[in-house]
Structure 1
């Protein structure tokens, strides 16, 4: 039977994730939601940076509830171990024109570009966005600890998707060293080689290629994702 394991450190998203089975036509027992961050070697609570509720109260309290929830959900999903990586998307959305048009996005021109991006720009232009960054201590798991909590073996993983705000590679480094780990499909946010401040994906890319995965970059979900596929041509 199909089983879906979702790992998410942001408490505000847990209620939505607990209903994921409804959208996917699965039984509730087929979906497991684990509230934690992940990194290569962590095994206890860690500090992550996120935007405070006060920021959304100060800027969005007069807006319809749908706008408040949409903007807050988007910005709270950016939480990170690194304060600069938390702020970077806010700056990028405010300064890069293509984000306002949906250019290169799988959404074309949807809610994110019409509602979220304009509000991000207003927050950025106010000039005090860094004052709303707060620290939160949350549980953190490495790959073996996740397998234990989810009651899985590495060989059970058919598809693994990682989107960890710049920390995708350390998470993957722990998985690729586990005996039996060989998913049919693997995706992470980033590039096949080091670009800008991205952590070097070299060892991870080398491992997938050594296992005869077909690899490429796609802009379907982000400006760049890496996809590794093991199986017949489709």
Structure 2
């Protein structure tokens, strides 16, 4: 998604030369230097006639994940543009979702695996240098943050990560640790109706540092 990434960077009130893009999978504890991930291939958009770029973010270590997203996207009648990001091709996407060979469009990716600390060091910095951190890691958010949350030097002023409808033990532990460090922690709701559209984002947790020790 490098193309769309840099497009969004251009919308920021910052010089693009101040931004660095690193491609890796981020895990709480990488078990190997490389990790296998799965996503919907670009060929799906070409064969069924829809704009494939939005699907490139449906990446996970769970092979079933992109298939689950395809099914949900079709079932909830989410917008899907035609090739070239024009028009309405929801019906074409629905044909993919109902296709008998849908699973054949899942492709395997092998990319470097880094911890959050590893990503920061790739950018030639340390965790104590972080002032703001936003994470959307397809279900691994809590694990990634817990791996560094206990560190004394980990104290960004603002944190936001994607949650889910389930309250899990690792989420409770993360919230406990952050509050103990002086953070106010709350929830930013994601699914809000706006005219005829409904946001597909999950709710996000937000933590703001109230004071420093």
Would you call these one fold, judging by a TM-score over 0.5? Answer: yes
How many angstroms does 1:48 deviate by?
0.3
The alignment status of 1:94 with 2:74, answered yes or no, reads yes
How big is each residue's C-alpha offset from its partner over 1:127-161, in whole Å with a ceiling of 9 and x where there is no partner? Answer: 43222111110111112211221111212211111
Classify 1:122/1:209 alpha carbon distance in 2 versus 1 (closer, same or farther; 3 Å).
Answer: farther
Asked whether the equivalents of residues 39 and 171 of structure 1 are also in contact (C-alpha less than 8 Å), the reply is yes
Out of 27, 32, 36, the residue aligned to residue 39 of structure 1 is 27
What SS does the aligned partner of 2:58 have?
coil
Change (3 A) 1:206 1:117: farther
Contact 1:74 1:116 in 2 (8 A): no
- 1:59 positional shift: 0.7
CA distance in 1: counterparts of 2:207 and 2:165, whole angstroms:
10
Question: 5 Å matches for 1:110-189?
Answer: 115=88, 119-189=92-162
CA contact (8 A) 1:193 1:202 kept: no
Deviation sequence 1:16-39 (CA, Å, 0-9, x none): 334554321322331011111100
Unpaired stretches in structure 1, ≥5 consecutive residues = 1-12, 61-66, 101-111
Mark the CA change 1:136 to 1:191 in structure 2 (over 3 Å): closer, same or farther. closer
Distance 2:210 2:186 in 1: 14
Partner SS for 2:205: strand
2:15 maps to 1:27:
yes
Pick from 184, 194, 198: which aligns with 2:167?
Answer: 194
CA distance 1:29–1:121, shift in 2 (3 Å): same
Alignment pair present for 1:55 and 2:25: no
Q: Aligned partners of 1:181, 1:141: CA distance in 2, in Å? A: 17
Q: Unaligned 5+ residue runs, structure 2?
A: 80-84, 191-198
Q: TM-score, normalization: structure 2?
A: 0.79
Structure 1 residue 191, shift from structure 2 partner: 4.1
Alignment: residue pair count: 195
Which structure shows the higher helix fraction?
A: 1
Distance in 2 between residues matched to 1:77 and 1:190, nearest whole Å: 17
Q: Work out which of the residue numbers 83, 93, 115 in structure 1 matches 2:63.
A: 83
1:88-112: per-residue Cα shift (whole Å, max 9, x none)? 2222222346x57xxxxxxxxxxx9
- Which residue matches 1:228? 207
